[in-house]
A = this chain, B = another copy of it.
Amino acid sequence: MIRVVDGPFDPAAELARFARGRTDVGAVASFVGRVRDHDGRVPILAMTLEHYPGMTERMLARLEAEARRRWPLLDVLVIHRVGRMLPGEPIVLVATAAAHRHAAFESCAFLMDWLKTRAPFWKLEETPEGERWVEARSSDDEAAARWEQPAAE
């Protein structure tokens, strides 16, 4: 399931509900991305996530479908927040459930790597010197590229 939310969300509460009561699940991997209070030596006072409503949901749904095609997943959850948020607050939660751990771990990392390079979100940081748009990082492109090969199952 995918969700784009424009206010705070609670990753622990979401994880408490995720795959609850399913006794066929042997492994749950999850990732939470949070706003940090600095980037290198620059303090970050706040972060605003802009997105492309409609295309965002479409791309996230496609990422979920691709992860399910590559790994035998029993459940998938992607929550991405948009709008303005403060250091320490969660930006994104990805959780995957499978019978075995490698499928859970790999699909979770895959979803984050592709989300970072394919889902239409843009980060605007507020620093003491003013606002600045976060630049895309080539390391994210490289991380995403490693999944271009068929999954080693």
Contacts and interface: CB of A to CB of B under 8 A. Distances in A.
**Chain A interface SS verdict (over half):** mixed
Copies held by the complex = 2
B105 A101 contact: no
A26 interface: yes
Interface residues of A, number: 35
A132 interface: no
B11 A23 contact: no
A10 B23 CA distance: 16
Given A12-B15, A13-B12, A27-B34, A21 B88 contact: yes
Contacts of A143: 102
Interface in A109-142: 109, 112
A27 B29 CA distance: 13
Interface in A1-59: 10-13, 15-16, 21-38
A31 B112 contact: no
Given A25-B88, A29-B30, A30-B31, 13 more contacts: A10-B16, A12-B12, A12-B13, A13-B16, A23-B34, A23-B36, A26-B34, A26-B35, A27-B34, A29-B31, A101-B112, A105-B105, A105-B108
